[in-house]
Chains A and B, each alone.
Chain A
Amino acid sequence: MSDHGARILVIDDEPQIRKLLKVTLQAHKYSIYEASTGEEGVLQASLQMPDLIVLDLGLPDLSGMEVLSRIREWSHVPILVLTAKDREEDKIAALDGGADDYVTKPFGMGELVARIRVALRHAAKSANEPQLQFGELTIDLAQRIVELRGERVKLTPTEYDLLRILASNAGKVVTQRQLLQQVWGSQHTESDSHYLRVYIGHLRKKLEEDSTQPKFIVTEPGIGYRFLSRD
């Protein structure tokens, strides 16, 4: 994997969490820089120019959101946020505010490392791949053709747009608002979130063997959807 050796900045006020991240991520061959406050984090981000930032949203000085927006003012570096379980609003705000993904505390290291890989890969990827391949599912972006196990799947334009956005962000969470904005445009209304559910339901019926145990499009409750990419 090309992400080995990537430089990661960890911004977290809890020494225990920093230690855990440092030990584990170093074991995965990443170089780690640490910051214990928001101010220091913003500074380190500009000095070290890391390849990825892990940011705890619950910081004592600046709010995590503040740090996020200050870094986003000048950098597209992938940012992963750490949040508590019951803070859906924070997660959504962070994702809509430019974070690339989130991990809920307490988290397993396997999950965190997987998210880091996806984020690094997305950052490194060249923009225009004409075809996406996920196991038995092939999406031809140039011709707008979707094939499952070699057979063409008929999708409506909206279903196709949804699938395209989710699949080109494979492995990353996409919030409901991001989906609505990209499919329905900036004038989307509240009732469109109703259609979003319906279309995702249709899409699953066409793609999944068992829509209660989806293999491609999984729901992140209260946040949005994630297209699963298996390495």
Chain B
Amino acid sequence: MGNRNVLWMKWKSYIGITAIVIAMTIVLHPLEAAFDMVNIALVFLLPVLLSASLWGFRPALYAAVLSVLAFDFFFIPPRLSFTVADLRYLISFAVYLSVAALTASLSSRLKHQLLLSKQREAHTAVLYELSRELGAVTDLQSLIDSVSLQVSKTIGSEIAVFLPDEQNRLKLYLPSNAASNWGQREEGQAIARLVLNHNEAAGFGTETLRDDPGQYAPLRADNRIYGVLAVNLGGRTAEFGPEQQRLLEALTDLTASAIARMKLMEEARIAHLTAESERLRTAILDSVSHELRTPLAAIIGSATSLIEGDRLFSGEDRMELLQTIREGALRMNRLVQNLLGMVQLESGMLKLKRNWCDVEDLIGVALAQVKEFQQHRQIRVKLPDEVPLLVGDEVLLEQMLVNVVSNAIKYSSDSSVIDIVVRTSGDRLILTVTDRGVGLEEKEYDRIFDKFYRAKSSKNVTGTGLGLAICRGIAELHGGSISASPNEPQGTVITIALPLPTREDSNPDIIES
């Protein structure tokens, strides 16, 4: 279809020229007496100029020859014959032809240059657009999709990208809207492997395997090859010129540097992750081994003393040793519970129940749990007149509250005041727990919710650094958040924000009063 169209365009110019020359001859013929021969000759330059500017060099040359022939045949004596009586006319013809040729070549070159500069402008725009797009993408698939879009817009071809994986096996990536399965053919893998190994383009338009319809170029950036870009040029051999080749190379370079950037980002991320998991592992080992061994030592020590030295101890001593055993065991129990909680939260094993929860009730349960070690600290609770119900997992929410309140107790002095305040703000329920304890360093307010992070000021207080991490997990599971901020003049405020039920959840006010 395309080829026939081009052919028709070509022939159209020649037919047009022939028609113009015939028309001019018919018009000029009767005027021959009125005009001088030179004038007519000059008029015959017109079709040459016209076709040079419209159709290019060859049609212009054809116009010149045709015009000379028509001029000779119809106007130069003897008429209606190609014979030339006056030989001087031959010189005129030669001059005419050279003028025509020169004009034609100048004009067509101008036209060509215009075309080229238009094309360059288009190519620059394409490259600019692509580089802007590639700057924004962060995943491989959208990168390949962007490149594919631009290549199909400018060159009209489909692409495939080959990237080596960790084992240096080539993996094929296709644009998500790949129209054909061209990228999947077997030769592709082999040629891409060749390109990768020799660091040279292969396939159509190159020195190697030029019969292949695809062009395979290495994706090279900073002296490193990241993969191979394959472009299907099958059936476009005619239109694919040096200008397209240059554009393709520029597109390849852009793709290469985008992939390089992505690879570097990925590598940095992995390095960071490795360092982070290394830090976590150490922290877990330190924390768990310390937190397990200390109470174990106390339990084993006390129990052994009681068994071995039964008669040495007074009743009071014995009670003290027994209490040590109990405390140690309770501490281990808390640790196991926290570890299990963390594992459940992280593994996604936890199925969140969505029950109606009364915040007042949750606070009550939490306060009952901390009662034993609250000692003389005063815990004040301030609730709004109407405490809204929440939808959530009451056991988890209670655990979160217990953890937060326990922390407030742990890090504040005996007989200080702890405030629990509940209020609503828009579609959230805000619960704050304020202590007047040791507080935190400025940069620690975010970090205390990290797993196994322990605040500097808490080194001499036992703990695993899991409690608040679990709280954050629970809050986020409920679509809420938890944060810490300093309290004036001293201490810490923990703020928990939980979403209030939406209108569909609740069906209020059908309560008898």
A interface residues (Cβ-Cβ under 8 A, vs B): 85-86, 88, 106, 156-158, 191, 193-202, 204, 211-214, 218-219, 221-222
> Quick check: B361 and A201 within 8 Å, CB to CB?
yes
**Which partner residue on chain B sits nearest A156 by CB separation?**
B512
CB distance from A230 to the nearest CB of B (A): 15
Given contacts A198-B511, A200-B358, A201-B360, contact A213 B329 (CB under 8 A): no
Known: A106-B329, A156-B513, A198-B511. 14 other contacts (CB 8 A): A86-B337, A86-B340, A86-B344, A157-B512, A191-B507, A194-B506, A196-B356, A197-B357, A197-B389, A201-B387, A211-B360, A212-B363, A219-B364, A221-B395
Chain A residues, Cβ within 8 Å of B387: 201
Known contacts A212-B381, A222-B353, A200 near B361 by CB under 8 Å: yes
**Chain A hits for B329, CB < 8 A:** 106
What A residues does B363 contact at CB under 8 A?
A: 212
Residues of A within 8 A of B512 (CB): 156-158
CB contacts (< 8 Å) of A158 on chain B: these are 512
Pick from A193, A202, A221: contact of B398, CB under 8 Å:
A221
Given A191-B507, A222-B395, are A212 and B356 also a contact pair (CB < 8 Å)?
no
Please indicate the chain A residues that have their CB under 8 angstroms from the CB of B513 in the complex.
156
Q: Which residues of B contact A86 (CB under 8 A)?
A: 337, 340-341, 344, 395
In chain B, positions 331-376 with a C-beta closer than 8 Å to chain A are 333, 337, 340-341, 344, 353, 355-358, 360-365, 367-368
B364 touches A85 (CB 8 A): no
5 A-B pairs within 8 Å (CB atoms) are namely: A106-B329, A212-B364, A213-B364, A213-B367, A214-B364
Contact, CB under 8 Å: A195 / B340? no
Q: Say if the beta carbon of B72 comes within 8 Å of chain A.
A: no
Give Cα distance in the complex from A92 to B400, angstroms: 22
B158 within 8 A of A: no
CA distance A191 to B329 in the complex (A): 41
Q: Which residue of A lies closest to B354 (CB)?
A: A190
Give the CA-CA distance A197 to B357 in the complex, in Å: 7
A194 to B354, CA, bound (A): 11
10 tightest A-B CB contacts, nearest first:
A222-B395, A212-B364, A194-B356, A197-B358, A221-B398, A221-B394, A197-B356, A212-B381, A221-B395, A219-B361
Determine how close the nearest CB of chain A comes to the CB of B355; give it in whole angstroms. Answer: 7
A88 near B361 with CB under 8 A, answer no
- Name the residue on B nearest A199 (C-beta): B511
Task: State the interface size on chain B (CB cutoff 8 A).
Answer: 32
Contact between chains at A218 and B353 (CB < 8 Å): no
Residue of A whose beta carbon sits closest to that of B329: A106
Closest to B507 in A: A191
Closest to A194 in B: B356
Contacts of B341 in A (CB 8 A): 86
Looking at the assembled complex, report how far the CB atom of B371 sits from the nearest CB atom of chain A, in whole angstroms.
Answer: 9
Write out the residue numbers on chain B whose beta carbons fall within 8 Å of the beta carbon of A196: 356
Closest Cβ of chain B: how far from A174's Cβ, in Å? 15
> Do the beta carbons of B389 and A198 come within 8 Å of each other?
yes
Q: Which of A158, A194, A195 has the most CB of B within 10 A?
A: A194
Q: Please name all residues of chain A whose beta carbon is closer than 8 Å to the beta carbon of B506 when the two chains form the complex.
A: 194
In the complex, which residues of chain B have a beta carbon less than 8 angstroms from the beta carbon of A213? 364, 367-368
CB-nearest residue of chain B relative to A212? B364
Measured CB to CB, the closest approach of chain A to B382, in angstroms, equals 10
Contact A193 B364 (CB under 8 A): no
A222 touching B358 by the CB < 8 A rule? no
Q: Are B511 and A195 closer than 8 Å at their CB atoms? A: yes
Q: In the complex, what distance in Å separates the CA atom of A9 from the CA atom of B381?
A: 44
- Let me know if B361 and A106 touch, CB within 8 A: no
User: When chains A and B are docked, how far (Å) is the Cα of A200 from the Cα of B424?
Assistant: 21
Report which of A156, A193, A218 forms a contact with B356, defined as CB distance below 8 A: A193
Q: Which residues of chain A come closer than 8 Å to B507, judged between CB atoms? A: 191, 194
**Contact yes or no, B367 A197, CB < 8 A:** no
Assembled-state Cα–Cα distance A86/B389 (Å): 23
| Residue interface bits B482-513, CB-to-A below 8 A is 1, else 0 | 00000000000000000000000011000111
Min CB–CB distance B331 → chain A (angstroms) = 12
In the assembly, what is the distance between CA of A156 and CA of B510, in Å? 14
Residues of A contacting B365 with CB < 8 Å? Answer: 218-219, 221
Return chain A residues, CB-CB under 8 Å to B511. 195, 198-199, 202
In the assembled complex, the CB of A190 is this many whole angstroms from the nearest CB of chain B, namely 9
Across the interface, name the chain B residue whose C-beta is closest to A214.
B364
Contact A197 B368 (CB under 8 A): no
Please report the C-alpha to C-alpha distance between residue A145 and residue B398 in the assembled complex, in whole angstroms.
Answer: 34
Residue of B337, B356, B367, B368 touching A85 (CB-CB under 8 A): B337
* Residue ID in chain B nearest A85 by CB atoms: B337
Residues of B within 8 A of A156 (CB): 512-513
